[in-house]
């Protein structure tokens, strides 16, 4: 109730403004009388604890005090924070009905109203308000509507919205989200044409090429799998730990191991320890274990890595048969340690997990969860 007295501020401002207009005394007097009357009614309702009517009367004063919308928005935010969503909704609904309000302000109020509805679990009402804003080209509505469709898993609606208003969804985050909407819809319906549509957004997103490659790999179409995944790695080399084993299988099946190691050479300067280990495996296969040990030792001095250390122990054990058991035991301990560490981390909120999530469960961002890097990572 105390918060409702916030509304005194705009009323006081309006009162001062009206009183200052000496050149139109009669008009000012009339407006002042109106304000005072409405304000008194509003205050009386509030004092009688009839807060809804009190709010309505005070909101009516906006017609003569449109500059004070900020105060009402602050009050609504306060109600929302206290969980009094019905009151926040009431204020925002009344504000967007004010004919005196600037169109941009009405859009901001509508966005706030949509957020009230989301918090209240009234997702249909939230959606209808956000759709109005998207149709009006209001950029601030972009993220909330993507989050809404991500939450409701309404991929088709999200795709239709994107196809109708694609000019609004051109930033990287939106493109990644829409690309994932296409992928989710494709996987649910088995409609691979949707994956093709998603590739239009491929330079902005990881998943379309990943899924296309995986689909080809599952069908043992190794040529296509290599085509899609190499294209993916040229844009996103950080994703290599996710696909490099399967990619290696594709090359081996086609008897083109040389091309595989050419790819490893390409990735070496821009990738983490996984690719370094693959490079060492190539050296070992070529009978150059000593060179592999030297390469890895040198690399670990510059960039320490637990996985790299584990592989080095394995290489050393093949070369030192006398202490093989000891080295294997140490490697076993190191491997057990690695198993306790998360495989993936969200670069936006820090969420970690052993499983890959395309939509971060914590911050609800698409494609922000990637293979972990650093000392314990890949």
Residues engaged in binding Zn ion (CB under 5 A):
346, 348-349, 351, 360, 362-363
Please report how close the Cβ of residue 364 comes to Zn ion at its closest, in angstroms: 7
Strand pairing class (352-353; 344-346): antiparallel
| Shortest distance (Å) from residue 346 CB to Zn ion | 3
Nearer to Zn ion, 89 or 242 (CB): 242
Phi and psi at 20, nearest 5°, equal -75, -10
We find the least distance from the C-beta atom of residue 163 to Zn ion, in angstroms, to be 27
CB of 13 or CB of 349, closer to Zn ion? 349
Give the shortest CB-274-to-Zn ion separation in angstroms: 22
Q: Which two tokens stand for residue 42?
A: 């509003």
Nearer to Zn ion, 7 or 242 (CB): 242
Helical segments of the chain, H only: 8-19, 25-47, 51-60, 69-81, 85-96, 103-120, 123-135, 142-152, 155-164, 172-189, 192-198, 207-218, 222-235, 240-253, 257-267, 273-285, 289-302, 306-319, 324-339
Question: What does the alpha-carbon distance between residue 18 and residue 26 come to, in Å, rounded to a whole number?
Answer: 10
**CB of 143 or CB of 246, closer to Zn ion:** 143
Our CB check for Zn ion shows the closer of 39 and 351 to be 351
Closest distance of CB 359 from Zn ion, Å: 9
Which residue lies nearer to Zn ion by CB, 281 or 353? 353
Query: CB-wise, 333 or 363, nearer to Zn ion?
Result: 363
Tell me the C-alpha distance between 57 and 53, whole Å: 6
Shortest Cβ 114–Zn ion spacing (Å): 22
DSSP 8-state assignment for residue 359: B
Question: Least distance to Zn ion from the beta carbon of 357, Å?
Answer: 9
Q: Give CA 214 to chain center in angstroms.
A: 24
**Count of beta carbons in the 10 Å neighbourhood of residue 24:** 11
Name the burial class of residue 91, with classes exposed (0-12), middle (13-18) and buried (19+) by CB atoms within 10 angstroms of its CB: buried
Nearest one of 194, 146, 201 to 179, comparing CA atoms: 201
């Amino acid at each position: 109730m105390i918060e409702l007295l916030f509304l005194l501020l705009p009323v006081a401002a309006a009162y001062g403004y009206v009183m200052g207009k000496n050149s139109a005394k009669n008009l000012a007097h009339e407006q002042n009388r109106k304000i005072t009357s409405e304000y008194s009614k509003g205050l009386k309702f509030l004092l009688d604890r009839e807060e809804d009517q009190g709010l309505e009367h005070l909101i009516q004063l906006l017609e003569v005090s449109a500059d004070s919308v900020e105060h009402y928005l602050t009050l609504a935010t306060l109600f929302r924070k206290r969980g009094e969503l019905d009151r926040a909704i009431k204020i925002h609904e009344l504000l967007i009905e004010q004919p005196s309000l600037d169109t941009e302000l009405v859009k901001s109020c509508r966005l706030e109203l949509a957020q009230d509805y989301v918090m209240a679990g009234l997702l249909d009402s939230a959606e209808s308000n956000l759709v109005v804003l998207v149709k009006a080209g209001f950029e601030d509505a972009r993220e909330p509507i993507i989050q809404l469709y991500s939450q409701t898993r309404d991929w088709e609606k999200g795709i239709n919205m994107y196809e109708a208003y694609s000019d609004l969804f051109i930033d990287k985050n939106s493109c990644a989200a829409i690309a994932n909407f296409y992928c989710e819809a494709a996987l649910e319906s088995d409609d691979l044409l949707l994956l093709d549509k998603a590739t239009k957004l491929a330079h902005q997103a990881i998943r379309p090429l990943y899924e296309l490659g995986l689909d080809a790999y599952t069908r043992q179409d190794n040529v296509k799998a290599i085509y899609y995944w190499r294209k993916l790695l040229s844009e996103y080399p950080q994703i290599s730990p996710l696909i490099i084993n399967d990619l290696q299988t594709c090359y081996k099946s086609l008897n083109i191991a040389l091309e595989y190691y050419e790819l490893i050479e390409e990735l070496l300067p821009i990738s983490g320890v996984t690719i370094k280990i693959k490079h060492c495996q190539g050296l070992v296969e070529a009978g150059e274990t000593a060179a592999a040990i030297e390469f890895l030792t040198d690399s670990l001095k510059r960039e320490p890595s637990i996985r790299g250390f584990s592989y080095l122990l394995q290489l050393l054990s093949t070369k030192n048969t006398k202490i093989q058991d000891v080295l294997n035991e140490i490697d076993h301990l190191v491997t057990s340690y690695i198993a306790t560490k998360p495989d993936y981390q969200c670069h936006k909120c820090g969420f970690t997990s052993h499983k890959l999530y395309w939509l971060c469960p914590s911050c609800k961002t698409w494609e922000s969860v990637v293979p972990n890097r650093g000392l314990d990572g890949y």
